[in-house]
Structure 1
Amino acid sequence: MTAHYFIATLKPIPEYHSSENNYPFLNGEAYKESLPFTLPYVYEVYELGGEDIELITFLDSFMGIGDVVERYIFEEGRQGYPLSHNYPEEARTINLFKKTYKDQYGEYQLDSKKWKEELSRRTIASKRSVTTFVKY
């Protein structure tokens, strides 16, 4: 089994297409047909399996007011058959501007000073649903 971590963005991430790329993004277009994303630019994210706080920090700095980013884990089984499924009822929405986390059980206000640490302890990526980050 192989797990791939993806994000999809409304706008391209041009600084990560250069040779000085110091963040682990790769083009995810090869998987685009298999992913439940609604946004046009797809990137595979490496080396962040357990480092959610790094991704949260990056997204907070990358996203402007009104931006949307989606995150999903795609697991491949033998011979490339997908093991991931999309259950929209399990989707999460994280508002980086209001510092809120919403899942199928309710919406939670994160601590305004320790929100990144608090958010990194929650499930922010799944092979069962898309997590949507918004900033508005």
Structure 2
Amino acid sequence: MTAHYFIATLKPIPEYHTIENNYPFLNGEAYKERLPFTLPYIYELRGGDIEFITFLDSSMEIGDVVELYIFEEGRQGYPLSHNYPEEARTINLLKKTYKNQYCEYQLDSKKWIEELSRRTIASKRSLTTFVKY
């Protein structure tokens, strides 16, 4: 079983498209038809949660949206992941909130990155949407 972490963005990530790409992104276009994304630019993510959250917070502008999803491949390429929209999460990086199917949580304004990294931010069962507005 192989797990892939994918993100979809509304606009391309400029750093990804440079020759000296030091960011942990791979092109995810080969999986585009199998993923539940609504945004056009797809990248496979490499790296940890804290680095990813820090990257998003520094690179996202007001009004930006990024979707995150784990895609697991089973034997013979059959997907093990499902999309259950009722389990989706929304994380607002401007307001520092985390919302799941049960309620919305306010994150600590000083330790929000560490607090967020301890929560489930990626899932093979639903999309996680990061917003900044």
Match of 1:94 in 2: 91
Listed as ranges, the gaps of 5+ residues in structure 1 are: none
CA positional deviation for 1:21: 1.1
Residue identity in the other structure for 2:125? R
- Residue correspondences, number: 133
Match of 1:10 in 2: 10
Match of 2:100 in 1: 103
Match of 1:52 in 2: 49
Match of 2:58 in 1: 61
1:131 partnered with 2:128: yes
CA positional deviation for 1:108: 0.2
Match of 2:37 in 1: 37
Listed as ranges, the gaps of 5+ residues in structure 2 are: none
CA positional deviation for 1:111: 0.2
CA positional deviation for 1:23: 1.2
Residue deviations 1:49-84 (CA, integer Å, cap 9, x gap):
xx2010000000111000000000000001110000
Runs of 4+ in 1 over 6 A off after TM superposition: none
CA positional deviation for 1:16: 1.3
Q: Normalising by the residue count of structure 1, what TM-score does the alignment of the two structures yield?
A: 0.96
Aligned residue for 2:68, secondary structure, equals: strand
Q: Normalising by the residue count of structure 2, what TM-score does the alignment of the two structures yield?
A: 0.98
CA positional deviation for 1:125: 0.2
